[in-house]
Structure 1
């Protein structure tokens, strides 16, 4: 008698096992969201809401009367037209560009030079680094007031020193000349920002493997070749952080210029930050002040995105 064997087809997979897996995934995601939620709420409350409120305000007729009546009617693009047609805004945009680029270049180059210098350990190097940190630790307003005294046209130490050494025939109008005041503000801001650049870049230099320098020395590479081929490429991520953070803190600077020159003379040191303050808290036109603030935010965001994308592309090519 022949025995026939029958094979049964495999049963189709059911979602019985996938269902519990998805449930466990949801339960596992819940604790992660609980940890992230406080930070998200903080960002929404203290960054998201003010940003949205500032954008809305730029399209409103918002005056001190609004605080009592609650009325802030929308006026379309009137605030934007008034600001963009204002010669002060155009001048402040140019001043902001010069102030930011000049400050970043001076802070970074001097900070990098000092970081490379202190990477070669010597006696009292730690003490000297600590002393150089003082400008960064002193409040910005205090630094500006001290430099205002030093740069005083009649009694300032800087002019006295220059005339005594024969480097200047007459006192320099550091803060009262429209052609020199912006340069003076840039120099003071460079002095303030050098320690930050030095500390961050010094930390980056310490992370570069010493083996690379030893191999370069064995190959007979000179100091400039080593710096260009090893130090700078290895420092690129740190340089990105330094420049982006430096730009963010410099482009919106307010207290230094207000305490140093007040935006003068003849609006020669007015930047986007000071114009925002001037329109909002001196002219009490909060709508136009919000417009300048939005332009400042947009400039910062565009710079950060473009620079980070360019740096990411460079890193990709390096790989």
Structure 2
């Protein structure tokens, strides 16, 4: 009868600990190399974005005036700057004007830009030169565009009122820039004119990425143009639409040069926005602490919108859209 003896467990190879140590060292080197690659970007962000942001927040709690640049003294005054700004009726009106200006501009730019993108996506002989001409408002500096439109909208000698009088729609001319009830609308219309090309170009590029087979299949199923647009075009264009709206919001909510060149915030503060109030408090009233408060509110609004966009984008990515 044979006897079975239990053999002792085999000892691990002598090189195993070395292999584990080598892998760990390699992982650490890889992580270090990753940090080294992104270090320049992090330093750039900290120096040119992080520091100004922190400095602006601190300034909003200080009595910061031109004298501070000579004496270096900027005593903290607690919430005095915030209280002064938030209790000022001009700031409340500027918030309302900013909301109207931003929403009106985005709706007009997106709607007309999408309509033109769909129109040009069909393709015809002169589509390219016409698209090139339509890009001109986007290429013109905003201050130049505002000065040109200020001349066009002049009540007495403007081209627009002259055309309206010629067709009998008005007699004395519309006070586009001199009436508190019309000036904000005029600013919105000018900003829509400036922003249409950007929306058109981005949305046109998104339309070109939609497979033509889907349109053919929908057509074979008997879907009409509106049904195809609603069921095929809009769902597949959603990521591009999100990008267009986010970028449009970021550029519109903080707009300054257009308002300054067009109306200077008037008449009777009818076109004052958060951007113009920040400029007025900082560079006209020379109260940099209160100007920092208005600027921080503008930054906070943009940050909240960006966070909501990122959360929505992450949710869409998680759902596989």
**TM-score normalised by length of structure 2:** 0.95
Q: Do residues 44 (structure 1) and 76 (structure 2) align?
A: no
User: In structure 2, what is the equivalent of residue 194 of structure 1?
Assistant: 196
User: In structure 2, what is the equivalent of residue 261 of structure 1?
Assistant: 263
Matches within 5 A, 1:1-319: 4-11=4-11, 15-313=17-315
Instruction: Measure, in 1, the Cα distance between the counterparts of 2:218 and 2:2.
Output: 84
Instruction: Measure, in 2, the Cα distance between the counterparts of 1:12 and 1:315.
Output: 45
Q: Return the offset for 1:36.
A: 1.3
1:235–1:30: structure 2 CA closer, same or farther, 3 Å change rule? Answer: same
* Greater Cα offset, 307-316 or 183-192: 307-316
Unpaired segments of 5 or more residues in structure 1?
A: none
Count of matched residue pairs = 319
Q: SS in structure 2 opposite 1:179?
A: coil
Q: Return the offset for 1:121.
A: 0.6
Q: SS in structure 2 opposite 1:167?
A: coil
Instruction: Measure, in 2, the Cα distance between the counterparts of 1:213 and 1:56.
Output: 56
Unpaired segments of 5 or more residues in structure 2?
A: none
Q: SS in structure 1 opposite 2:64?
A: coil
Give yes or no for contact 1:263–1:274 (8 Å, CA) kept in 2.
Answer: yes
Q: Can you list the C-alpha shifts for 1:231-287, whole angstroms capped at 9, x where unaligned?
A: 000000000100000000000000000000000000000000000000000000000
Q: SS in structure 2 opposite 1:268?
A: coil
Instruction: Measure, in 2, the Cα distance between the counterparts of 1:308 and 1:84.
Output: 29
Q: Can you list the C-alpha shifts for 1:117-171, whole angstroms capped at 9, x where unaligned?
A: 0001101100000000000000000000000000001100000000111112321
Instruction: Measure, in 2, the Cα distance between the counterparts of 1:85 and 1:275.
Output: 14
Q: Can you list the C-alpha shifts for 1:33-53, whole angstroms capped at 9, x where unaligned?
A: 222111111111111111011
Instruction: Measure, in 2, the Cα distance between the counterparts of 1:153 and 1:222.
Output: 46
